[in-house]
Amino acid sequence: MSAIAITGSGVSVPDFTITNEELCVAFNQYVRLFNEENAAAIEAGDVTELRESTADFIENASGMKQRYVVNKSGIMDPKIMRPVIHQRPNTELCHQAELSVKACEQALAQAGRVGEDVDMVLLATSNMQRAYPAVAMEVQHALGARGFAYDMNVACSSGTFAIQAAADAVRAGSARCAIVVVPEIMSGHLNWRDRDSHFIFGDGCAAFIIERLEESNSENLWEIRGTRALTQYSHNIRNNGSYLGRCEPERRDEADKLFTQQGRKVFKDIVPLAANFIKDHMTSLDLSPETVSRYWLHQANANMNRLIARRVVGRDTTPQEAPTILDRYANTAGAGSMIAFHLHNEDMEKGASGVLCSFGAGYSIGSVILRRV
């Protein structure tokens, strides 16, 4: 059976950043305004008084210090509290395609490829900018790629599930040079008025090129030794936003039409699930913690990642062994573990192995075991 490899990777982010401190200034202005405007109803017990958010809580509870966003001014305005993102004319690249093309161009350059070499574009993301045509097709067109393109969504596991699908397609011969691109504009579906979650997400995009090892043209080769995917239905992370929203306009703006989660429950459920999943996958390939030198974990919570890595390895891991990127990027959903890989692989020796793993809504878990060639 042909060996399949990641032959290039790329990352792009939008222009703006928001630190925890900046975020809390805006959020707390909103809280004070809300409480003032609703003072009588709060006094009467009809409305719950809102509480302020703190930068210390955010950093301690999640490890996040800042996030990239497509638009900052709207999020920072206590009367708006959402990114202001204008729809572009159909003749211009849409926002998701723009982020994608930047990351794909970097990944292609690293792989020693040009757009024309590509015959499959798999765009995987937690939220599609539009219903159709697939944003993947717009990216395919912009890159001058051939073949076929489609969109898919497995929330935070979009990236690993797409890597599996692309690797399978290349192995089966239905594609020769595939791009997996994960453009996450998470700021658009985050409830910036919700104290429990307003800090969680950031925007960012990652792209991988996937080819047969023997056909590759790259200096930076990572054999995909195995992929695994698992889903287990749960309501604990959910977004009921839908094209059917217009059919019930009176409920269209309810909070459940944006990201909602039971953060504590998710934390408790995912830690053992992800740790066992990674261990089983490693064992199936005769790998032990002694023979795996890197864990590019999903970037949702630094404390969660510390616990998962400890359960897998049997001791605390170093920042080099399980790198954190969420301090700078926050949770970029499906792109997170791919960004961690892109930024933290160059120091690894030929023959070294690593595990790229994502987990999130669904629940969904995906892992990809890589070896530097």
Binding mask 212-241 for ligand COA (x = CB under 6 A): -------------------------x----
Q: How far is CA 48 from the centre of its chain?
A: 33
Instruction: For ligand COA, give the closer residue by CB, 62 or 140.
Output: 62
Q: Count CA atoms closer than 13 A to 214's CA, side-chain side.
A: 4
Member of 32, 88, 264, 315 binding ligand COA (CB under 6 A): 264
In this structure, what token pair is assigned to residue 161? Answer: 């599930």
Pairing status of strand 66-69 against strand 237-238? unpaired
Q: How far is the CB of 154 from ligand COA (least distance, A)?
A: 11
C-beta neighbour count of 8 within 10 angstroms:
28
Q: How far is the CB of 269 from ligand COA (least distance, A)?
A: 9
Q: How far is the CB of 304 from ligand COA (least distance, A)?
A: 6
C-alpha span between 302 and 64 (Å, rounded): 8
User: By C-alpha distance, which of 200, 213, 215, 225 is closest to 326?
Assistant: 200
C-beta neighbour count of 326 within 10 angstroms:
26
Active-site residue, from 156, 177, 205, 357: 156
Instruction: For ligand COA, give the closer residue by CB, 30 or 222.
Output: 30
User: By C-alpha distance, which of 99, 57, 362, 32 is closest to 199?
Assistant: 57
CA dihedral 253, 256, 257, 262 (to 10 degrees): 140
Using Cβ positions, the residue closest to ligand COA within the complex turns out to be 263
Q: How far is the CB of 228 from ligand COA (least distance, A)?
A: 19
Scan residues 191-210 and list those touching ligand COA (CB under 6 A): 195-196
Q: Is 308 in the site for ligand COA (CB under 6 A)?
A: no
Instruction: For ligand COA, give the closer residue by CB, 5 or 300.
Output: 300
Please give, one letter per residue, the 3-state secondary structure of 244-298.
HHHHCHHHCCCHHHCCEECHHHHHHHHHHHHHHHHHHHHHHCCCCHHHCCEEEEC
Binding mask 51-70 for ligand COA (x = CB under 6 A): --xx--xx--xx--------
Cβ neighbours for 319, distance < 8 A, ≥ 6 positions apart: none
Binding mask 282-301 for ligand COA (x = CB under 6 A): ------------------xx
C-alpha span between 175 and 189 (Å, rounded): 33
Q: Is 156 in the site for ligand COA (CB under 6 A)?
A: yes
Q: Is 183 in the site for ligand COA (CB under 6 A)?
A: no
Q: Is 261 in the site for ligand COA (CB under 6 A)?
A: yes
Q: Residue 156 catalytic?
A: yes
Q: How far is the CB of 162 from ligand COA (least distance, A)?
A: 16
Instruction: For ligand COA, give the closer residue by CB, 266 or 355.
Output: 266
Binding stretches for ligand COA (CB under 6 A): 53-54, 57-58, 61-62, 156, 195-196, 237, 261, 263-264, 266-267, 270, 300-301, 304, 331, 360-361
Looking at the annotation, which residues are catalytic? 156
